[in-house]
Amino acid sequence: MTNYREILRLNSLGINNSQIALSVGCTRQTVISVLNKAKQKNLTYAQAISLSDRELAAGIQEGGLERANYRMPDYEKVHKELAKNGVTLNLLWVEYCQECKRNGEIAYQSTQFNKYYADYARKVGATMHIERKPGESMEVDWAGGTAPVINQDTGEVMNAYVFVSALSYSSYAYAEAFWTMQSENWIIAHVHAYEFYGGVCRLLIPDNLKAGIVKNTKAETVVNKTYQEMVSITVQLFSRHG
């Protein structure tokens, strides 16, 4: 049985609904319903003290407990806001709670807020299928970390940088290790990759790395001169044999 008296007492002390629910052993929704009903009847804890448990229960339960009417967040707006820099789901939940408080509405706890957003995101989430043609493009980059190489004569451990390439359509990959990431090794790696694949691709897709790209902004992309020359030769080869 719900302890209505304790709910009213804890509420009069300024305890929040979640803590009241935990203390009394009921749901937060039950606490909200009891307090709403008591408010409608102008029933305070001071008045409840003079009532028996049966009288208090009858006063609260008359007409049945109201179901807490939570305000559903605008998840379309939440989804758009999350795309902005510095905006987090927790920040949006706080703003949602503040708005609910101003309007006298009941807000969801953060766990429910996050759950409903996850449900929304799954429904509206979309992936873009990129059409690729066999042998059309090759993606290249230096791997994120170095590879330790042990000198068999001295036992010294040396770090090697790994060039990685992959054909976009098949994900067929080629990798090669170098002692530096200088432009010379970068170009050599491309040549060896083309030799490995047995031909050149129409499109070469590098990541935004210093060995290939000097500057990359919304206004312009400046390609390393040596790399640009290699790309030009590749295009010529493709034009002849592609």
- Give ∠ CA 123-125-130 in degrees, rounded to 5: 140
The CATH T-level fold of domain 137-241 is Nucleotidyltransferase; domain 5 (3.30.420)
Q: Please tell me the pTM assigned to this model.
A: 0.41
- Where in the chain are the domains? 4-61, 75-124, 137-241
Per-residue model confidence (pLDDT) at position 178: 95
H and E: helices and strands count for the chain: 10, 6
| 70, 75, 78, 79: CA torsion to nearest 10 | 160
Structure tokens at 213: 């790209």
Q: Which long-range contacts (CB under 8 A, 24 or more apart) does 101-108 make?
A: 103/71, 105/69, 105/70, 105/71, 106/32, 106/68, 106/69, 106/70, 106/71, 107/70, 107/71, 108/70, 108/71, 108/73
Per-residue model confidence (pLDDT) at position 160: 94
For the chain (length 242 residues), average pLDDT per consecutive 10?
Answer: 86 91 87 88 82 78 56 89 84 91 83 86 66 84 87 90 91 93 86 89 73 58 65 59 50
- Give ∠ CA 102-71-64 in degrees, rounded to 5: 105
